[in-house]
Amino acid sequence: MSVLTVRGGIPYVVREAITTTGRKVRVPFYMMHLKIRVDTAPCKLYFTEEDFNADVNYVLIPVPSASTPYGEWEGPVETAHGTNVDLWLRGSGGSSDIELVAFQRRG
């Protein structure tokens, strides 16, 4: 059994409208956790450029509703040297107002 020790750090925050054309998000450090909230339309999250270009293998972040009251997705997304460190986002069904918070991986 392993124990996760969080030693703090300043999260990286992106707040903007993501169109249906989409774009790459470059996080300036290696991540250990990611949280994304949407407001106006669902948003697709891709972990590789190939998946983004083919529009496959994505996580769909839902808008707030009775079943998803905060309209968010979060989870451990760990990146390290030599692995894919970028994210790609695309609005689904319209421009999506997003708030992305990436937490730094340390140690």
Domains and CATH numbers, the chain: 12-104 (2.60.120)
3-state secondary structure of 61: strand
Helices (H) and strands (E) in the chain, counts: 1, 8
Q: Mean pLDDT across the stretch 2-26?
A: 82
Q: How is residue 21 annotated by DSSP?
A: S
| Between 78 and 19, residue with greater pLDDT | 19
Q: Is 1's pLDDT higher than 50?
A: no
Residue 70 contacts residue 37 (beta carbons within 8 Å): yes
Output the six-digit token pair for 43. 């948003």
pLDDT over 90 percentage in the chain: 63
Which residue intervals of the chain are DSSP H helices?
49-54
Would you state the pLDDT for residue 78? Answer: 84
**C-alpha to C-alpha distances, 46 to 27, 37, 57, nearest whole angstrom:** 14, 15, 7
**pTM (two decimals):** 0.86
Would you state the pLDDT for residue 79? Answer: 80
pLDDT tens digits, one per residue of 29-80:
888 899 999 998 999 999 999 999 999 999 999 999 988 888 899 999 888 7
